[in-house]
């Protein structure tokens, strides 16, 4: 169904308000217009690009929640968090994350995303990685989006340790999994 510009822009604003994480490509498909048209509409409406929207949502929503490290030190953008329970972050793999010759992401970026998410989910002033067991299950390439999901599996207040499992996906395909044993400073919860 073809819509006029005003109608499309109104629906575009509502759609982005409902889902700030929707991509320009998904919007173009939804409204049956070109990506360029979506970008021009966003520009006219002063709606920032996806990366800026994610950053803004994360800063506004989680800046008071994350206790264990400054939000800007988290690798990737946190999009959901329940302290001592679970967290989700997004990392778009760009040119600076990959090897030049084959465009495959360097493993330390995937590890850093998972590890910083494991730290961020801890409800304490200080959380450090005591031990990690990791596995890369497939290569990640430039242009792919990695969604890391952290889940607290055990809190042991006696020895100040919390176990966090992190699974990272590209298009619902597992690309990384890690188990992190986190030391927390405050043993009382």
Domain ranges of the chain: 5-47, 64-184
Q: Does residue 55 have a pLDDT over 80?
A: no
What pLDDT was estimated at residue 46?
85
pLDDT for 22-54, tens place per residue? 888 889 999 999 989 998 998 888 887 876 766
CATH topology of domain 64-184: Thiol Ester Dehydrase; Chain A (3.10.129)
Question: What confidence tier does 66 reach under pLDDT thresholds 50, 70, 90?
Answer: low
pLDDT for 95-121, tens place per residue? 999 999 999 999 999 999 999 999 999
Residue with tokens 């006029």, as numbered in its chain: 4
Q: Does residue 61 have a pLDDT over 80?
A: no
Record the pTM: 0.68
CATH topology of domain 5-47: Arc Repressor Mutant, subunit A (1.10.10)
What pLDDT was estimated at residue 124?
86
What pLDDT was estimated at residue 62?
54
């Amino acid at each position: 169904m073809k819509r006029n510009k005003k109608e499309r822009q109104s629906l575009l604003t509502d759609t982005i308000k409902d889902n700030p994480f929707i991509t320009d490509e998904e919007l173009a498909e939804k409204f049956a217009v070109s990506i360029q048209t979506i970008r021009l509409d966003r520009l006219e409406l002063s709606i920032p690009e996806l990366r800026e929207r994610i950053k803004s949502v994360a800063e506004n929503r989680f800046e008071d929640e994350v206790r264990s490290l400054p939000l800007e030190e988290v690798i990737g953008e946190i999009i959901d968090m329940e302290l001592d329970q679970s967290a989700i972050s997004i990392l778009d793999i760009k040119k600076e994350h990959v090897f030049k010759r084959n465009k495959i992401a360097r493993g330390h970026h995937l590890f850093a995303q998972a590890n910083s998410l494991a730290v961020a989910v801890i409800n304490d002033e200080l959380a450090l990685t005591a031990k990690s067991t990791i596995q890369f299950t497939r290569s990640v390439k430039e242009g792919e989006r990695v969604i890391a999901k952290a889940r607290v599996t055990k809190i042991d207040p006696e020895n100040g340790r919390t176990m966090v499992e992190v699974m990272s996906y590209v298009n619902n395909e597992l690309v990384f999994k890690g188990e992190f044993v986190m030391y927390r400073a405050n043993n009382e919860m």
